[in-house]
Amino acid sequence: MTLIFAHRGSAGTHPENTMSAFKEAARVGADGIETDVQLSKDGEVVIIHDEKLDRTTNASGYVKDRTLTELKTLNASPNFKGKLGKENIPTLEELFIWLNDNQLYCNIELKNTLFLYPGLEEKVIQLIRAYEMDERIILSSFNHYSLVKCHQLAPELETAPLYRDGLYMPWIYAKAIGGSAIHPNIRAAPDFVIQASLSMGVPVRPYTINGEAEMKRLFKLGCSAIITDFPETAVRVREGLESCTRKKMP
């Protein structure tokens, strides 16, 4: 079965990378969530996508220039005024505490391409081990040097390179850097790449799959997982296909 990962939580319907978005993903039946981590000025692992605060909060400037206490005063849902109330920027530890109460998988993207955030890998791995999340976590990043470091520090964890452009035989490349899956932009993942990767035992989880027609195509192709802003839609589409399959069975 193709798994459904909620991109930054249910980012199409709730403030991205907030606890309300993650809880919505669980409510609608997603199999996992995808989220992003950076370091605050005082070295805390916080959940936010952009290096700048401007788009997703009521503040400006860089995440790295604010302490956790300062970040916690911000509103992480300025685009959902009056709908869900004020949302805080979560820490990775807060997310793990919540994950203890469910069985969701969690894809953590290390946002360390613009800023390297020395120590980010060690801190994330320390939290994964402290909360015994190793079997439910996938580490991904556009910084493939960072993924190699993660594999060296914690070879038991699954790592998956993110990439936007065409990559020749990405299933071989992933294994070469210690990865066990690939997370391509859907435009860089034509059917033959997905099928070849799967045949070599390398899971494929493309992003960001929001159209129903594309969801159906990937479900029928047997893709390992999709990463989507609309997990409720994806669950409905998958259930519809499964229902049709059951009806066709003798």
Annotated catalytic residues are 7, 49
Q: Is the separation of the CB atoms in 74 and 108 below 8 Å?
A: no
Q: State the Cα torsion 98-103-107-110 to the nearest 10°.
A: 30
The residue type of 2 is T
Strand pairing report for 137-141 and 105-110: parallel
d(Cα 130, Cα 138) in Å, to the nearest integer? Answer: 16
